[in-house]
Copies of this chain bind each other. A is one copy, B any other.
Amino acid sequence: MTDRTFSCSIDSTLTVIGDRWTLLILRDLFRGVRRFEQLRRDLGIAKNILSDRLQKLNDSEIILQRPYQTNPIRHEYHLSEKGIDLSPSLIALMHWGDRWYADGQPPIILTHATCDTPLTQSTHCISCNTDVKPTDISSRPGSDIVQFETIRAQ
């Protein structure tokens, strides 16, 4: 990653979810913790902060509210498709913590549901059919691709 002339989508992502509480709420939603009181207890988070973060996640269409009780009305919070798509980010953050802070004993292992094998995550080049190390990554402005496709279409 050598280019620094252009902005990148990490900005966009962090504007929406770049807050520790938000990421911890998302982690809990992935684990199936869906109700306000469960989230509040599990995270030890103040009610007003939890309300604020859930509202922002809802406004960003990362979570969906679904009523589970009508009198009084109570909602569960579910991940939308956009929210579920954050799975690779949370897995990457978790694996890093496993490698650097767990003394070789990760507290939670993520596994393939059908066979219980621990999951791996990799960055891949489909042309070379190889996993790519961080030191072998470069970057270029995305507009290059648009320009290239435009030229080919002419």
Where the two chains meet, the residues of A that have a C-beta atom closer than 8 Å to any C-beta of B are 1-4, 6-16, 18-20, 23-24, 27-28, 30-33, 42, 82, 84-102, 105-128, 130, 132, 134-146
Q: What copy number does this chain have within its complex?
A: 2
CB distance B124 to A121 under 8 Å? Answer: yes
> In the complex the two chains form, what is the Cα distance from A4 to B118 in whole Å?
17
CB distance B24 to A105 under 8 Å? Answer: no
Q: What chain B residues lie within 8 Å of A2 (beta carbons)?
A: 31-32
CB distance A122 to B122 under 8 Å? Answer: yes
CB distance B111 to A138 under 8 Å? Answer: yes
CB distance A120 to B123 under 8 Å? Answer: yes
CB distance A20 to B23 under 8 Å? Answer: no
Q: Are A92 and B94 also in contact (CB < 8 A) when A110-B1, A138-B116, A139-B110 are?
A: no
Give the Cβ gap from A45 to chain B, nearest Cβ, in Å. 13
Q: List 15 A-B contacts (CB under 8 A).
A: A6-B108, A8-B106, A13-B94, A14-B20, A15-B20, A84-B134, A91-B92, A91-B137, A105-B142, A108-B140, A111-B137, A112-B128, A113-B136, A116-B138, A122-B122
> In the complex the two chains form, what is the Cα distance from A134 to B140 in whole Å?
29
> In the complex the two chains form, what is the Cα distance from A6 to B122 in whole Å?
25
Q: Are A108 and B139 also in contact (CB < 8 A) when A9-B94, A9-B95, A88-B123 are?
A: yes
